[in-house]
Amino acid sequence: MASALPLADPAPLDGLLPVSVLDGVADRHFGVYLHVPFCRVRCGYCDFNTYVSEELRGAKRSDYAGQAIEEMHLADGVMRQAALPERQAATVFFGGGTPTMLPVTDLAAMLDAVRTTWGIAPGAEVTTEANPDSVDAAYLLALADAGFTRVSFGMQSAVPRVLATLERTHDPERVPLVVEWARQAGLGVSLDLIYGTPGETMDDWRASLEHAIRQAPDHISAYSLIIEDGTKLARQIRRGEVHAPDEDLQADFYELADELLTAAGYEWYEVSNWARPGGHASRHNLAYWQGHDWWGVGPGAHSHIGGVRWWNVKHPAAYAERIRDGHSPALGREVLDDETRGVERVLLLTRIRDGLKIADLEPASRTAVAGLIGDGLVDGTSALGGSIVLTLRGRLLADAVVRTLLGY
Amino acid sequence: MSPIASKALEPASTDPAFIRNFCIIAHIDHGKSTLADRMLSITGVVSDRNMRAQYLDRMDIERERGITIKSQAVRMPWALDGQNYALNMIDTPGHVDFTYEVSRSLAACEGALLLVDAAQGIEAQTLANLYLALDNDLTIIPVLNKIDLPAAEPDKYARELASLIGGKPEDVLRVSGKTGFGVEALLDRLTELVPAPVGDPDAAARAMIFDSVYDSYRGVITYVRMIDGHLAPRERIQMMSTRATHEILEIGVSSPEPTPSKGLGVGEVGYLITGVKDVRLSKVGDTVTTALRPATVALAGYTEPLPMVFSGLYPIDGSDYPALRDALDKLKLSDASLVYEPETSVALGFGFRCGFLGLLHLEIITERLEREFNLDLIATAPSVIYEVTTDDKRTVTVTNPSEFPGGKIASVREPMVKAAILAPKDFVGVIMELCQDRRGTLLGMEYLGEDRVEIRYNMPLAEIVFDFFDNLKSKTAGYASLDYEPIGDQEADLVKVDILLQGEQVDAFSTIVHRDKAYDYGVLMTGRLRKLIPRQQFEVPIQAAIGAKIIARESISAIRKDVLAKCYGGDISRKRKLLEKQKEGKKRMKMVGRVEVPQEAFIAALSGDVEKKAK
């Protein structure tokens, strides 16, 4: 979760949605995101909405599942009042924080609540994030029994020095173990990597990629480290204790990732995500970029239903209070107009492979495509076939491509 | 000691024998305005209650900088040995940029107070104006001011003054404008020594305009010194340079508020109002006569003000262009020496090419535009007037590097000045070094008093307008003072250096420099721009060139990564806000070919902020 909330309207206490959310609903899937705002320690680079024990100000981890389930009931009521059709969850994603800080029974209970509230569609993708040192074989087996289909491990790096800079506590040798346990439990596996950590070399990054590839997961995410204001790492950089990651080196890292992952048989489907062919792309992740509907449950969680975006209060204690009082935990929201939705479509779909159709673009944007092909940012063959597909260079300059398409 | 005059003499009927016209020659902060204020209060024309500090300097900028830009005249009554007199104090601008105005003010007087700070001694500009005053045959009364200061060394500087103008150190008056000490004696002395004006009361009227001020309520107020004849209200007057005629709506004297009178006679100093709205119709130095009985010979010394320094002024916010145009139109009403014409620049958008009398004039105008009209401006590097002759014998006058002809150049002539620098002797070495570096030729050096030296150089004006004074001040701990006067032009090995971004010329950065300095300029500017221009999707070469020859180059490597890794758990709003912010940023971008350059980058490169920040 982002630390800076966007400026927007305050959200209504009853959480009610405008009728406009019904427009085009038949074309949108429904998903559920469950935020678990707890961590054992806070990592130096992290500005996500998560809390270690001493920061909880009276909010209890043990009460959390119950509060999340309460919000699902409220969500159900709001969606019914808006006369949205009943839709089963096509994807469910538990993110954090560290969802696996909670007892597996809590995760199972929350997933059950999704099932009883909306139903879970046949073949649904149900994922949880996990730290390699926060789960064991039994935990993973229990997740599979509860209905989870996929687990995404925060591996980050295979190099102890890099993990230490990130303040990640796990031993890289544990990764093969947890991957094997997950696989034995019948769960799909994704590994999350971070590149561009201060002090990380090309060789370090190559070692991490190779280590990840050796585990043969279904899916690999590789995110460049972003130094967020307010984090410990940002302070260390400001004081000159560590050097900010160099943007050109980050580009080199990205290019290496694409090279090694492609060679190992992975295909990129979103700028920072690669998957083995045959339906291993994360459908929940794609839903964000494709503009589907999802309800985000939990402190600081973001939701989108039919052109309305909102986000919950961030602190678990404030969240608990809203839920206790029977109020919507939403803090602010935006009701997007048609123009903004058009901008978002370009902004979001450009990042995914084959996401943006040239036929859907405004005439001015269509004209700009030729220049993007000429500059080597958009694949020419795909463009002739009607789709915007970014080249490797185009993926690294995706934000610039978006601005060009929008005429910004 | 004289009391205040019992009865002030009536304007229009004062015998010239009892008129004394004088001015004060002084350096910027030597206390001229304070002394003038003190005279106003001692002669009773301004009551202590109404005394606004430095009454005569009206404009805010003048008051803040402690300098006088526009002069005015005040009539003060005084009595000596039982005789009433009218003293006309004519305030003169104190800066070299306004030499012409100074010379006209001096021409309106018979005497001058040479006012020098008793703690600092005479400064270069004062010396320059003193030469002008002597040249006009004015009677000089040397005065040391600020003798109340603990640091004052009146004996030392009295000797310095005496050695400059002749006479004995004891004849140098000692006053304090601040406490009033010695001011009455000073008024007595000037009444005694300054000659009475001489003129023919029966001749056709001739009055010399020594100042012309625009007032938003009354239109142009013209300050004149009557030489011959007489002017009266309702009379039709004629400007001898243009033959334009106007009716006098009001005539009078300042004391110090405008006070209408029955007219002005020989030797008197006062003002005219005709209702015209533009100071260009009432030019300093011009002769006023009457339409009914015009004089045949104009008074000598009139010249059109000629701009010496040119610079492009651009609004930082392009939408302020019409406001800038209106502001210049308004300033023009009160400043006949300001000239401008529209100009466009790739880098800076729409603006005006403006001509100024000198650097201070440029600074004052930009400051007034910013302050009085609330405009944010950027000025391009000041340029002087070059005469460029091409191989095919065509001669082009160049006031803007963009006018520099292409092709083969036979010769370039540049304006030269004679510069005089006054400084304590310890700084002679650094000053000579600086002047040599600025292509100066040493003319001579003279000791003034015990420890101060006047150093004279011939130098190109272009070298002076480009931060010479700042450099001089910083190298001499602020002690040096500078004066310069034009002495014609001279051939020099000058070239135009262009700055190219990806092969496209960026007009605002073209400059005309001596060939020996072209490389330095090229390295400086390409280096600045490399630091200031953000990376683009392609490599951007930045080159400095003389014609087709590249003399320096830098390059900005292509940006390789411009993508946010993720969307933070569905926080699309944040990502979109970032995009909208980038869109706003784009509005301030200027396109040079395909290169997007933030306007701030151009501004920082022009103003040299890059090096300043690095310090």
Q: How much is the pLDDT for B568? A: 63
Q: Are residues A279 and A373 in the same domain?
A: no
Torsion of CA A270, A273, A278, A280, to 10 degrees: -120
Based on the fold, state whether residues A281 and A342 are members of the same structural domain: no
| A35, A48, A400 ranked by CB distance to B537: nearest | A400
* Contact in structure between B363 and B96 (CB atoms under 8 Å): no
Domain final residue pick, A258, A289, A320: A289
pLDDT above 90 for B257: no
Domain of A176?
9-289
Which of B535, B537, B572, B589 should one mutate to test binding to chain A, selecting the residue with the greatest count of A CBs within 10 A?
Answer: B572
Separation between Cα atoms, residue A293 and residue A28, nearest integer Å:
6
pLDDT digits (tens, 9 = 90+) for A231-272: 888 888 889 888 888 889 999 999 999 999 999 999 999 999
Yes or no, beta carbons of B562 and A396 under 8 Å apart = yes
Question: Would you state the pLDDT for residue B477?
Answer: 83
State the nearest Cα–Cα gap between B352 and chain A, in angstroms.
Answer: 30
CA angle, residues A278, A279, A285, in degrees to nearest 5? 145
- pLDDT of B506 over the 70 cut: yes
0.95 surpassed by complex ipTM: no
How many Cβ atoms are within 10 Å of A264's Cβ, its own excluded? Answer: 16
pLDDT (0 to 100) of residue B63 = 47
pLDDT category at B1 given cuts 50, 70, 90 is very low
Tens digit of each residue's pLDDT (9 = 90 or more) over B320-367:
999 999 999 888 877 778 899 999 887 888 999 999 988 778 888 888
Do the beta carbons of residue B254 and residue B269 sit within 8 Å? no
Q: Domain check: are A278 and A343 in the same one?
A: no
Chain A residues within 8 A of B562 when measuring between CB atoms: 396-400
Q: Do both A90 and A215 map to the same domain?
A: yes
Task: Express each pLDDT in A37-89 by its tens digit.
Answer: 998 888 888 888 888 887 888 888 999 999 999 999 999 999 999 999 999 99
Paired strand residues for B288:
B207, B239
Rounded to 5°, angle at Cα B536 from B535 and B537:
130
Q: What is the pLDDT of residue B95?
A: 60
Same domain, A232 and A97: yes
Which one of A251, A294, A340 has the shortest CB-CB distance to B561? Answer: A251
CB contact under 8 A, B572 and A398: no
pLDDT digits (tens, 9 = 90+) for B181-213: 999 999 999 999 999 999 999 999 999 998 888
Q: pLDDT (tens digit, 9 = 90+) per residue, B221-237?
A: 899 999 999 999 999 99
Q: State which of A248, A266, A289 marks the end of a domain.
A: A289
- Bridge partners, residue B448, by sequence: B452
Asked, for residue A319, whether it belongs to a domain, the answer is no
Please indicate whether, in this complex, the C-beta atoms of A399 and B569 are within 8 angstroms of each other.
no
A-B CB pairs within 8 A amount to 109
pLDDT digits (tens, 9 = 90+) for A21-33: 999 999 999 999 9
Residues of A in contact with B561 (CB under 8 A): 224, 247-248, 250-251, 254, 396-397
Q: Kindly determine whether residue B562 and residue A272, on different chains, have CB atoms separated by under 8 Å.
A: no
Above 50 in pLDDT, residue B66?
no
Most A CBs within 10 Å, among B537, B539, B564, B568, to test the A interface = B568
Chain A residues whose CB is inside 8 A of the B586 CB are 403, 408
| Interface contact flag, B561 A4, Cβ < 8 Å | no
State the pLDDT at residue B68.
Answer: 43
Indicate whether A43 belongs to any domain.
Answer: yes
Which of A289, A306, A321 delimits the end of a domain?
Answer: A289
Shortest CA gap A396–chain B (Å): 5
Residues forming a β-bridge with B231: B264
- Condensed to tens digits (0 to 9), the pLDDT of residues B465-505 reads 877 888 898 898 888 888 888 899 999 999 999 999 999 99
> What pLDDT, on the 0 to 100 scale, is given for residue B94?
58
In a domain, A205, yes or no: yes
Residue of B nearest to A8 (CA): B573
Q: Which residues from chain B sit within 8 angstroms of residue A224, using beta carbons?
A: 561, 565
- Residues 6 or more apart in contact with residue B355 via CB below 8 angstroms: B307, B308, B309, B310, B338, B339, B340, B399
A96: closest chain B residue by CA: B569
A300: in domain = no
pLDDT of residue B93: 67
- CB atoms near residue B53 (< 10 Å): 9
- Residue B449 to residue B453: CA distance in whole angstroms: 8
Q: Say if B587 is an interface residue toward chain A (CB within 8 Å).
A: no
For every residue of B36-102, DSSP letters joined together read HHHHHHHTTSS-GGG--TTTT--SHHHHHHT--SS--EEEEEEEETTEEEEEEEE----SGGGHHHH
Query: Do A355 and A259 sit in the same domain of this protein?
Result: no
Domain identity same for A110 and A212: yes
Q: How many residues does chain A have?
A: 408
Decide if A301 touches B, using CB distance below 8 A: yes
Q: Which distant-in-sequence residues (6+ apart) come within 8 Å of A152 by Cβ?
A: A127, A128, A129, A130, A189, A190, A191, A192, A219, A221, A282
Strand B139-145 versus strand B173-174 pairing type: parallel
Residue B561 near chain A (CB below 8 Å): yes
CB B265 within 8 A of CB B12: yes
The candidate with the shortest Cα–Cα distance to B94, out of B119, B120, B62, B117, is B62
> Residue B584: its chain A contacts at CB < 8 A?
none
Q: Which residue of B has its CA nearest to A336?
A: B573
Pairwise CB contact (< 8 Å): A248 & B537: no
A78 and A217 share one domain: yes
Place of tokens 């803007």: B400
* Mean pLDDT for all residues in chain B: 87
- Stronger pLDDT, B363 or B375, i.e. the higher one: B375
Put simply, the answer to whether B565 touches A1 (Cβ < 8 Å) is no
| Residue A258 near residue A209 (C-beta atoms within 8 A) | no
The verdict on A366 and A247 lying in the same domain is no
Task: State mean pLDDT over B304-322.
Answer: 88
- pLDDT tens readout for residues B518-563: 999 999 999 999 999 999 989 999 999 999 999 999 999 999 999 8
Q: Using the beta-carbon criterion (under 8 Å), do B568 and A375 form an inter-chain contact?
A: no
Query: Could you tell me if residue A299 is inside a domain?
Result: no
A contact residues 27-46, partner B, Cβ 8 Å cutoff: 33, 35
Evaluate if pTM is beyond 0.80. Answer: no
Q: Distance between CA B208 and CA B101 in Å, rounded? A: 12
- Does B572 contact chain A (CB < 8 Å)? yes
Are A246 and A104 within one domain? yes
pLDDT band at B615 (very low <50, low <70, confident <90, very high): very low
> What is the band of B49 on the pLDDT scale with cuts at 50, 70, 90?
low
Mean pLDDT of B59-85: 69
> What would the mean pLDDT of B86-114 be, rounded to a whole number?
83
Same domain for A360 and A280:
no
- A96-152 pLDDT, tens digit each: 889 999 999 999 999 999 999 999 999 999 999 999 999 999 999 999 999 999 999
| Set of chain B residues whose Cβ sits within 8 Å of the Cβ of A272 | 565-566
A303 in a structural domain: no
* B539 vs A: CB within 8 A: no
A1 in any annotated domain? no
Average pLDDT over residues A161-170: 90
Element (H, E) at B190: helix B183-193
Question: Reduced to 3 states, what is the DSSP secondary structure of residue B456?
Answer: strand
Tokens of B139: 């009677």
Q: Check whether B71 has a pLDDT greater than 50.
A: no
What is the count of structural domains for chain A?
2
Average pLDDT over residues B496-519: 92
CATH (domain of A283):
3.80.30.20
Tell me whether residues B582 and A403 touch, CB distance under 8 A: yes
Q: Is residue A230 part of a domain?
A: yes
d(CA B427, CA B434): 11
Q: What is the mean pLDDT of residues B112-133?
A: 87
**Among candidate residues B474, B498, B495, B464, the one with its CA nearest the CA of residue B615:** B474
pLDDT at A4: 45
Decide if B579 and A399 are in contact by the 8 Å CB cutoff.
yes
A183 and A83 assigned to the same domain: yes
Q: Read off the DSSP letter of residue B202.
A: T
3-state secondary structure A316-343: HHHHHHHHHCCCCCEEEEEECCHHHHHH
Note the pLDDT tens digit of each residue in A187-233. Answer: 999 999 999 999 999 999 999 999 999 999 999 999 999 888 888 88
For residue B312, is pLDDT > 80?
yes
Kindly determine whether residue B570 and residue A302, on different chains, have CB atoms separated by under 8 Å.
yes
Give contacts of B583 with chain A, Cβ < 8 Å: 403, 406, 408
Q: Which residue of A has its CA nearest to B557?
A: A248
